Chain A
Amino acid sequence: MDDHQMAAALAGNPNVGKSTIFNGLTGLRQKTGNWAGVTVATAWGEFTCNGKTCRLVDLPGTYSLNTHSREEEVAKQYLCSGDPDAIVVVGDATCLERGLHLLKQILDLEQVKDEGIPVVLCVNLCDEARKKGIEIDFELLRDVLQIPVVSCCARCAGDLAQLKETILECGGTRGHYECLDFSPKNLARETVRYTRVNYRKQEEAIDRIITGRFTGSLLMVVLLLGVFWLTMAGANIPSGLLWDFFFSLEDHLALLLSAMRVPDPVIQALVYGVYRVLAWVVSVMLPPMAIFFPLFTLLEDLGYLPRVAFHMDRSFKRCRACGKQCLTMAMGFGCNAAGVMGCRIIDSPRERLIAILTNSLVPCNGRFPTLFTLITLFFLTGLQGSAAGSLLSALMLTGAILAGVAATLGCSWLLSHTLLKGIPSAFTLELPPYRRPQVGKVLVRSVFDRTLFVLGRAAAVAAPAGLVIWLLANLNLGGQSLLAYLTGFFDPLGRLMGLDGVILVAFILGFPANEIVIPIMLMAYLQRGALVEMTDSASLFTLLVNNGWTWKTALCMLIFCLFHWPCSTTCLTVKKETGSLKWTAVAVLLPTVLGVVLCAAVNGIFFWA
């Protein structure tokens, strides 16, 4: 056996299940999605068959190699780099012609022609085609193309094994494409047979309902609210269990450390500072995300989300933004950091930047409990627990969400008329066929790719923040804690915004995670040394009122909770995605300025209250 490891490139149109094949071959969990553009940077993995190993490079999905989008450039560059020993072109059995167009372009590449790099055509989604009554004459396809053609449904293991063998077999061989000339259109016409004439009827009927003028909007709102409700209701129990588990460990941890003769202040700082904040963040953050993201991914895999973008594009077009922004916005409801990451699906740089910068204007899971608490405490007095109360609180929460959406649209408009001036870029949106999602895979993928990723980043910031919070609350200077000095310092600004110093400091110290804003606030009001939880709403209400709260304070805090700087995780993600400190600063300043101005305005208007 030679030492040279074989390399194969995986090319294909967007949304043909290329990444699913890649995952199937390599076993690597590279994220796949039911729309174009999930693979922007190239991913690679390895597979072994009959003792031989092959390095497989997953190229971004492209419609052609002609135009100059970033994805196409990446794909073309790699194909011409001389690295691949074989090229696998993945096509969709339900629209073979498009795949053949790309195949022809790849065979026409000079590098491929001159070196005779072997090319394999893999016709994917054959199971889907069969269901739709589409039959493909593979014999004819092989005869005309004179290259190996593998039929494949990415979910069948046998097909993948055959694909592996075919790739390894053709490594080291030479293809001869000089005499190969075919018309993709005619070839597709000759090899594909539609046995059911009206196979698209059903899908078109569904599409008409889903994107209908009224039904579309209604379905969207109902689904969104349904996802929220499932997330909030479903997260309560696991959150409580995690909470009990983590906090039962707290005292054991302290005992263990003192048995190891660690000095007492250090134990206090580590256990009641670092550990408590970390446990807090994990137990309130993990369950909602572990529910929200699988649900979202499920809708994505089903093919519903591109239809939402289709339906909503009109509103975003008016703000000179991209219709796909409504999807990243919806993802922001789960977690703004994930929403910012999701902006990769937007092709044009200007629109992508707008989506990134405005993402934190919608409230994420971490802010919902705060909004909810404020609404029930101050605006539903006397209605708690009744049916009218729960309906009213749901309506008010919806109002808060709509305010976030309105701010997103408004700021998108503002950005595209000031900082990011420009005409809307070319926007085409493919509506893929509906596919039955693979529930198991969805779960694994969304938990690993989104939930744990976000949680990891949050935990990394929460630990040091816990230490800082503990130090501020416990270091005394002239009989007053540093925290008291800090809240005193911010008090004038807070008052101007209808808040007070404590609330403002709670938001600042809540930078690692919005979940701990209220606990920090309570800690400061009660002058305790560690985060405090209050489950009894009556005593919470009394405490707040005793500290000078009125409904106006609650309203201003509601606004500031909606519009303030993004959490640390989101900031890190913005920095990573934009690669620029300047845009990260804009992402911080935009919502902050909006929040401060709105709060000050509300405070001014209701100055008598």
Chain B
Amino acid sequence: MVIPLSQIDLGEKVRVVWVASEKHMADRLADLGFVPDEEISCVLKGRRGGMRAYLVRNAVIGLREENIGEIFVRTGSSV
């Protein structure tokens, strides 16, 4: 199932399907490893409306809520 990254739970492992951010942000995310087929997981949820952190390529990256919603991921056993 493909859902926005914002909807995954703490510790859940998912694969990136598509990054819908505007170009500048998308480039930046791609450099950090948010590219299709990359496995990522949520490691920190923080405060509501605040940043959340994801483990990608073995580094912890904090992202803002609005950017997290622009990343679509595949969940479930197909990971």
Please tell me if the beta carbons of A431 and B62 are within 8 angstroms of each other in the complex.
yes
User: Knowing A66-B31, A430-B62 touch, does A97 contact B46 (C-beta < 8 A)?
Assistant: no
A431 adjacent to B53 (CB under 8 Å): yes
B24 to chain A: closest CB distance in Å? 5
Cβ contacts A302-318/B at 8 Å (1 or 0 each): 00001001110110010
Contact yes or no, A428 B43, CB < 8 A: no
Please, which residues of chain B bring their CB within 8 A of the CB of A313? 50-51, 62, 64
Q: Which listed residue, B25, B51, B57, B67, touches A310 by the CB 8 Å rule?
A: B51
Cβ proximity bits A429-450 to B, threshold 8 Å, 1 near / 0 not:
1111100000000000000000
Inter-subunit contact B25/A200 (CB<8 Å) = no
> Which residues between 21 and 62 of chain A lie within 8 Å of chain B, taking CB atoms?
none
Instruction: Output the nearest chain B residue to A315 by Cβ-Cβ distance.
Output: B50
Neighbour of B60 across the interface among A208, A213, A323, A431, CB < 8 A: A431
Q: Mark interface residues in A181-221 (1 if CB within 8 Å of B CB, else 0).
A: 00000000000000000001000100110010100100000
Question: B63 an interface residue at 8 Å Cβ cutoff?
Answer: yes
In the complex, chain B residues whose CB is within 8 Å of the CB of A64: 30-31
* Contact call B58/A95, Cβ cutoff below 8 A: yes
Chain B residues 46 to 79 lying within 8 A of chain A, measured CB to CB, are: 46-47, 49-51, 53, 55, 57-64, 67
Contacts of A425 in B (CB 8 A): 24
How many whole Å from A208's CB to the nearest CB in chain B?
7
Q: In the complex, A67→B21 CA distance in Å?
A: 14
Residues of B close to A207: CB separation below 8 A: 43-44, 53, 60
Contact present for B64 and A430 (CB under 8 Å): no
Do the beta carbons of A428 and B32 come within 8 Å of each other?
Answer: yes
- Does A94 count as interface, using CB distance less than 8 angstroms? yes
Q: Which of B29, B46, B61 contacts A430 (CB 8 A)?
A: B61
- The answer, yes or no, to whether A427 is at the interface (CB within 8 Å) is yes
- Known contacts A64-B31, A314-B49: A204-B57 contact under CB 8 Å: no
Residues of B within 8 A of A241 (CB): none
Q: Does A419 contact B (CB under 8 A)?
A: no
Complex CA distance for A426 and B34, rounded to whole angstroms: 14
B47 x A98 contact (CB < 8 A): no
Complex: A426 Cα to B24 Cα, angstroms = 7
Complex CA gap A216/B47 in Å reads 10
Please tell me which one of the listed residues A94, A200, A323, A432 contacts residue B51 in the complex, with CB atoms under 8 A apart. Answer: A323
CB of A428 within 8 A of CB of B57, answer no
Query: For B58, what are the chain A residues with a Cβ–Cβ distance below 8 Å?
Result: 94-98
CB of A311 within 8 A of CB of B24, answer no
* 8 Å CB interface, B13-56 against A: 21, 24-25, 27-33, 43-44, 46-47, 49-51, 53, 55
| Residues from chain A with Cβ under 8 Å of B29 in the complex | 428
Q: How far is the CA of A95 from the CA of B51 in the complex (A)?
A: 22
Select which of B47, B61, B63 is within 8 A of A314 by beta carbon.
B47
Given known A63-B32, A200-B55, contact A213–B61 (CB-CB < 8 A): no
A552 to B74, CA, bound (A): 63
* Inter-subunit contact B55/A429 (CB<8 Å): no
Nearest Cβ on chain B to A397's Cβ, whole angstroms: 27
List the A residue with the shortest CB-CB distance to B63.
A428
Residues of B contacting A317 in the complex (Cβ-Cβ under 8 angstroms)? 64
Q: Which residues of A contact B53 (CB under 8 A)?
A: 207, 211, 310, 431
In the complex, the answer to whether A426 meets B51 with C-beta atoms within 8 Å is no
Bound together, the chains give a CA A442 to CA B63 distance in angstroms of 29
Interchain CB contact under 8 A, A67 and B43: no
Q: Are A97 and B60 touching (Cβ within 8 A)?
A: no
Q: Which residues of B contact A429 (CB under 8 A)?
A: 51, 61-63
CB of A394, distance to nearest CB on chain B (Å): 27
A311 touches B50 (CB 8 A): yes
Q: How far is B46's CA from A211's CA once the two chains are assembled, in angstroms?
A: 6
Report A-chain residues with C-beta under 8 Å of the C-beta of B51.
310, 313-314, 323, 429
Q: How far is the CA of A424 from the CA of B64 in the complex (A)?
A: 11
Find residues 380-434 in chain A having any chain B CB closer than 8 Å to their own CB: 424-433
A430 touches B60 (CB 8 A): yes
Report B-chain residues with C-beta under 8 Å of the C-beta of A92. 59
Contacts of A427 in B (CB 8 A): 64
- The answer on a CB contact under 8 Å between B47 and A213 is yes
Q: Which residues of the partner chain B approach A433 to less than 8 Å between Cβ atoms?
A: 60
Considering only CB atoms, which chain B residue lies closest to A13 in the complex? Answer: B59
The distance in angstroms between the C-alpha atoms of A256 and B59, with both chains bound, is 63
Q: How far is the CB of B9 from chain A (nearest CB, A)?
A: 14
- Minimal Cβ-Cβ distance residue in A for B59: A95
Contact partners of A306 in chain B: CB under 8 A: 62
Bound complex: CA A216 to CA B45 (Å):
12
Separation in Å of the A478 CB from the closest CB of chain B? Answer: 64
Q: Are A430 and B59 in contact (CB under 8 A)?
A: yes
| Residues of B bordering A, CB below 8 Å | 21, 24-25, 27-33, 43-44, 46-47, 49-51, 53, 55, 57-64, 67
Further pairs besides A98-B57, A200-B55: 8, Cβ < 8 Å:
A97-B57, A207-B44, A313-B64, A317-B64, A323-B51, A429-B61, A430-B60, A433-B60
Q: A residues touching B (Cβ–Cβ < 8 Å)?
A: 63-64, 66-67, 92, 94-98, 101, 200, 204, 207-208, 211, 213, 216, 306, 309-311, 313-314, 317, 323, 424-433
Sample (22) of A-B pairs whose CB atoms are under 8 Å apart:
A63-B31, A64-B30, A67-B31, A94-B58, A97-B58, A98-B58, A204-B44, A207-B60, A213-B46, A213-B47, A216-B46, A313-B51, A314-B47, A317-B64, A427-B64, A429-B51, A430-B59, A430-B60, A430-B62, A431-B44, A431-B60, A432-B60
For the complex of A and B, 4 pairs with smallest distance between CB atoms: A314-B50, A63-B31, A429-B62, A95-B58
